[in-house]
Amino acid sequence: MNQQEFAGRTEAVKARLYRTAYLYLGNEDDALEAVDEAVYQALRGLKQLRQPDFFETWITRILINVCHNELRRRKRFHPGGDDALPDTAGPDAYEHLPLKEAIRRLPEELRSVVILRFFSDCTQAETAAALNIPQGTAATRQKRALALLKLELGEEGQA
């Protein structure tokens, strides 16, 4: 893959990368910086991409690593602070506060699957590849996350 093809394919997934970063980091500026950093790292490591067919999964994985690094940095400098999700309305599918709070409370491994599957429009296979886990594990985590969300949101609705 040459740099021109890289630029075209990156442009095609830019909105999806931004959505993913926004859901991980919680604000527009950090999400834009994370996408920029992921694209930069991907361009620098372009020769390491063995199969261009997996470009989207590969760059998503780089983005997730960038987001995790930023979240770790935040914890170091702001211990006990909100670690991942936005306090203001973000992408349309994510505006409802009970859902946002319920997802924020999920364990990281479950939260990642939910963000990629339902807010970044990744297939189950793409989610598994991006998280570097077997597809069956991604399916199990998705099922567990949805059960926890249903339980939590169901209880809130009855309170």
Q: CA–CA separation, 42 vs 68, rounded Å?
A: 16
| CATH architecture for residues 3-158 | Orthogonal Bundle (1.10)
Cα separations in angstroms, 151 against 10, 93, 118: 38, 20, 18
pLDDT at 75: 81
CB neighbourhood size of 17 (10 A): 24
Q: pLDDT per residue over 87-134, tens digit each? A: 444 444 444 467 777 887 888 889 889 988 888 878 899 899 888 899
pLDDT at 79: 63
- Average pLDDT on 56-85 reads 78
pLDDT at 81: 52
Continuous segment of H or E residues that includes residue 35: helix 28-44
User: For every residue of 101-138, which 3-state class applies, written as one string?
Assistant: HHHHCCCHHHHHHHHHHHHCCCCHHHHHHHHCCCHHHH
Q: pLDDT per residue over 21-49, tens digit each? A: 988 888 899 999 999 999 999 999 988 88
pLDDT at 87: 42
Q: CA–CA separation, 154 vs 157, rounded Å?
A: 5
What is the distance of C-alpha 43 from the center of its chain?
20
